[in-house]
Structure 1
């Protein structure tokens, strides 16, 4: 599987460089993202600009890594996903709210959620 990782202070951007996400690639995606050093302390952005198609297991893999971040008390967002896959993913996993057209919007979204968490912790 081809991908690039860009690590920032509070965000990891995972850029998938594949056009198809099938059953074989799905396991690789979950493992690759799960093995990113420091991810358990950072928000995640999945940049899926190259992805043209995904089967059911591919969609589940995207949801799995997205949901895992929220289980850790962090945020995740999906950026640059084509219209067809955005619709399919949103219908299959309606709890995935952070699907946006650009990486910039994804960064804004996860940073806003991070800020809201900080405010909530400060008020307790």
Structure 2
């Protein structure tokens, strides 16, 4: 499994460098991201611009990695996904994902959610 990691102050940008995410690779993807110390306390952006195809297990892996961040009270966004995979992912998990066309929009979305969380904590 090939990917690059770019760690920023509050965000980890993970660029998957695979063209296919299938049943064979999906477990490795979930395990690799779960073992990343860089994600501790940081929001996640999945840059999937290289991904051309994914089967149901691959879509589930993307969703699992995404939801793991929310389970940790953090944010996640998916960027660069082609239109076919965007449609498949939103059909499989309707209304559950922040899917945006560009990395820049993903950063904005994640930072806005992070800011909203901070405001909610300040109000309590």
TM-score by length of 1: 0.97
Instruction: Give distance in 2, aligned partners of 1:26 and 1:71.
Output: 20
2:51 partner SS: coil
What corresponds to 1:66 in structure 2? Answer: 66
Unaligned runs of 5+ in 2: none
Q: CA deviation at 1:40?
A: 3.0
What corresponds to 2:102 in structure 1? Answer: 102
Cα displacement string for residues 51-105 of structure 1 (whole angstroms, at most 9, x for unaligned residues)? 0000000000000000010010000000000000001100100132300000000
State the superposition RMSD in angstroms. 0.8
Q: Post-superposition, which runs of at least 4 consecutive aligned residues in structure 1 deviate over 6 A? A: none
What corresponds to 1:21 in structure 2? Answer: 21
Asked if the contact 2:16–2:48 (Cα under 8 Å) also holds between the matched residues in 1, the reply is yes
What corresponds to 1:118 in structure 2? Answer: 118
TM-score by length of 2: 0.97
Instruction: Give distance in 2, aligned partners of 1:84 and 1:113.
Output: 26
Unaligned runs of 5+ in 1: none
Cα displacement string for residues 24-54 of structure 1 (whole angstroms, at most 9, x for unaligned residues)? 1101110111111141300000000100000
Residues paired across the two proteins, number: 124
2:31 partner SS: helix
1:68 partner SS: helix
What corresponds to 2:9 in structure 1? Answer: 9
Q: CA deviation at 1:15?
A: 0.3
Instruction: Give distance in 1, aligned partners of 2:87 and 2:106.
Output: 17
